[in-house]
Amino acid sequence: MPYNLAERILVTGGSGFLGSHLCERLLANGAEVLCVDNFFTGTRGNVEHLLDHHRFELLRHDVTFPLYVEVDQIYNLACPASPVHYQHDPVQTTKTSVIGAINMLGLAKRLKVKILQASTSEIYGDPTTHPQSEEYWGNVNPIGPRSCYDEGKRCAETLFFDYRRQHGIPIKVARIFNTYGPRMHPNDGRVVSNFIVQALRGHDITIYGDGLQSRAFCYVDDLIDGLMRLMQSPDEVTGPLNLGNPHEITMRELAELTIELTGSRSKIVHRPLPQDDPRQRQPDISRAHAMLGWAPRTPLRQGLARTITYFEGMLTDSAGRYSQVSSTNPAARGLDLTVPAS
């Protein structure tokens, strides 16, 4: 999917986990990339290897404020995506999803360019249908501790489709399911990073509830491929489209696989399941497969091994010992990192 060298692509949230991989892939495909981030959850280190690239530009900016730039496409990925981060400042999380969407849609309207919204499987809430297809309207608690993210993303989807109906803006909406891989933050509270960090340090692996709740994990390279295919699809393909891996696994099975791949002696311990944590989450990706020719290709065992290698390099000090995580990231300091993520 090569880009014209003249194409300038804006990626909001571009120094985050997904955003940094997207910037990297866009550059490899010939685009000029403007990476915008306020560094609340993203880090400069995620894009440091791109800073000297002649087609890459990094701009510190919060999308809750208008942005005046000239670009040819917009990927709107800006928003903290793990509960430990988005619950830290829930009002700001909602503002980022809603006001950020309004500002980016306003920019797309002015420039008459295509814009993609990184939505989420969290719009389905604690689903009563399984697996979840795009026709399912969800089962979301509008006033719970996760609502800032769930309802913020639902409202952003509404705005995208209203801007299309009212102003004719070409939009794309991707509902992203659990994604993992290198550059996940070790303190983001997500289950994959939690399990890997605990296993590498030889700590007990914490499972919330009975461990039979299930998720489906997509490796980051596959997810980025899906986003780019969606962006480059015909204008009538608006979405929302589910992007994720339909292979389902229980938290207990994931913990056991992590212990096996790390060679850890960690034990599994259980803690109470928090409020509104979904019991099941699995995407129906038949629409993405039909419209984009897309399906994830990386087996969980292979992707998890790559992710473990990344964390080994991040956590190992010069003496070969696993060090404590330090961070200059404001979202990773002073937070309760026991909150489980979907």
Burial class (CB in 10 A: 0-12, 13-18, 19+), 185: buried
Q: CA-CA distance, 176 to 120, in Å (whole number)?
A: 4
Residue 210 or 293, more confident: 293
Q: Are residues 208 and 116 in the same domain?
A: no
Specify the length of the chain in residues. Answer: 342
Q: What is the CATH number of the domain that holds 196?
A: 3.90.25.10
Tell me, yes or no, whether 186 lies in a domain. Answer: no
Which residues are CB-contacts of 69 (< 8 A; sequence separation ≥ 6)? 10, 34, 59, 107
Residue 157 confidence (pLDDT) above 50: yes
Structure tokens at 226: 């899906």
SS3 318: coil
Domain with 46, as residue range(s), is 8-180+218-243
Tell me, yes or no, whether 93 lies in a domain. Answer: yes
- C-alpha closest to that of 65 among 44, 88, 96, 41: 96
Evaluated on CA atoms 183, 186, 189, 190, the torsion sign reads: positive
Q: What is the CATH number of the domain that holds 137?
A: 3.40.50.720
Q: CA-CA distance, 37 to 50, in Å (whole number)?
A: 14
Give the whole-number percent of the chain exceeding pLDDT 70: 89
Which residues are CB-contacts of 206 (< 8 A; sequence separation ≥ 6)? 194, 198, 269, 270, 271, 338, 340
Residue 322 confidence (pLDDT) above 60: no
- Indicate the number of domains in the chain: 2
Q: Are residues 161 and 251 in the same domain?
A: no
Catalytic (active site) residue 149: yes
Q: CA-CA distance, 311 to 134, in Å (whole number)?
A: 34
pLDDT at 286: 97
Q: Are residues 61 and 195 in the same domain?
A: no
Q: Are residues 16 and 138 in the same domain?
A: yes
Q: Are residues 307 and 237 in the same domain?
A: no
Cis peptide before 66 (omega within 30 of 0): no
Which residues are CB-contacts of 265 (< 8 A; sequence separation ≥ 6)? 202
Residue 84 or 125, more confident: 125
C-alpha separations of 278 from 81, 119, 209 in Å: 16, 17, 11
Beta carbons of 214 and 280 less than 8 angstroms apart: yes
Q: What is the DSSP letter of 273?
A: P
Q: Are residues 147 and 256 in the same domain?
A: no
- Average of per-residue pLDDT values in the chain: 89
Tell me, yes or no, whether 341 lies in a domain. Answer: no
Instruction: Give me the mean pLDDT over the 154-181 stretch.
Output: 97
Structure tokens at 318: 């010069």
Query: In this predicted structure, which of 182-186, 309-313, 317-321 has the lowest mean pLDDT?
Result: 317-321
pLDDT at 334: 38
Tell me, yes or no, whether 44 lies in a domain. Answer: yes
Which residues are CB-contacts of 18 (< 8 A; sequence separation ≥ 6)? 77, 81, 118, 176, 179, 220, 223, 224
Given the residues 75, 149, 163, 208, the one annotated as active site: 149
End-to-end CA separation in angstroms for the chain = 31
Residue 29 confidence (pLDDT) above 80: yes
Report phi then psi at 307, rounded to 5. -70, -40
Tell me, yes or no, whether 122 lies in a domain. Answer: yes
Give the whole-number percent of the chain exceeding pLDDT 90: 70
* Dihedral angle computed from the Cα positions of residues 87, 92, 96 and 99, in that order, rounded to the nearest 10 degrees: 140
Which residues are CB-contacts of 54 (< 8 A; sequence separation ≥ 6)? none
Q: Are residues 89 and 222 in the same domain?
A: yes
Beta carbons of 213 and 278 less than 8 angstroms apart: yes
Evaluated on CA atoms 70, 8, 290, 174, the torsion sign reads: negative
pTM to 2 decimals? 0.89
pLDDT at 36: 98
Tell me, yes or no, whether 272 lies in a domain. Answer: yes
Q: Are residues 151 and 121 in the same domain?
A: yes
Instruction: Give me the mean pLDDT over the 219-229 stretch.
Output: 98
